[in-house]
Amino acid sequence: MDTIRNFVQLTDRIGTSGQPSEAQFGQIAKAGYQVVINLAMPDHQDAVACEEQRVTMLGMGYIHIPVPFDAPEPAHIKRFCEVMQQHKHERIWVHCIMNYRVAAFMFHYLHKVVGLDEAAARSPMFATWQPDEVWSSLLKWSAKEMGL
Alpha helices in 87-148 (DSSP H): 100-108, 118-121, 133-138
Instruction: Examine residue 1 and state whether it is found in any structural domain, yes or no.
Output: no
Evaluate whether residue 37 is within a structural domain. yes
What pLDDT, on a 0 to 100 scale, did the predictor assign at position 101? Answer: 97
For residue 13, the enclosing domain spans 8-137
For residue 5, count other CB atoms closer than 10 A to its CB. Answer: 15
Return the pLDDT at 2: 86
CA–chain centroid gap for 144, Å, is 21
DSSP 38: E
In a domain, 144, yes or no: no
Q: Which residues of the chain have pLDDT under 70?
A: none
Helix (H, G, I), strand (E, B) or coil at 107: helix
Domain count, the chain: 1
pTM: 0.96
